[in-house]
Amino acid sequence: MKKLIVAAAAIAGLAAFGTASAAGDLAAGKAKAQAVCIACHGPQGISNNPEWPNLRGQKAQYIIKQLKAFKAGTRSNPLMTPQAKLLSDQDIENVAAYWSSLPLCNK
């Protein structure tokens, strides 16, 4: 059963990566993520703060949707909204490609 879940996660990860890499630039996303996002979301995309979500291995489509929602003001948070407003649509595609490309921890 555990093997099945790991395999399913790997396939899902590949699918998300495949989708994201069409639009997002992984290297540019990594540079932006390491300059900005890791301050709160952790160097590996695992946050230490209970109110700050993990980004590692998250679906690219979901990351893009949330960042656009913060930018548009339909989702709001005093810490995250200003961060999203600094990102161009291309930055959003890039950071989503990067965070989604990192494998989930296999615990």
Q: If you search the block for the tokens 């301050």, which residue do you land on? A: 39
Cβ proximity to ligand HEC, 8 vs 86, nearer residue = 86
**Residue placing its CB nearer to ligand HEC in the complex, 36 or 107:** 36
- The minimum distance between CB 4 and ligand HEC, in angstroms, equals 25
| Nearer of residues 11 and 85 to ligand HEC, judged by Cβ | 85
Distance CA 63, CA 96 (A): 6
- Which residue type is seen at 84? A
Q: Are 55 and 32 in contact (CB under 8 A)?
A: no
Interacting residue ranges for ligand HEC, rule: CB under 6 A:
32-33, 36-37, 39-41, 51-53, 55, 63, 66-67, 77, 79-80, 83, 87, 95
Minimum distance, C-beta of residue 104 to ligand HEC, in the bound complex (Å):
14
Sign of CA dihedral 36, 18, 53, 9: negative
Q: How far is the CB of 88 from ligand HEC (least distance, A)?
A: 11
The answer to whether the beta carbons of residues 15 and 81 sit under 8 Å apart is no
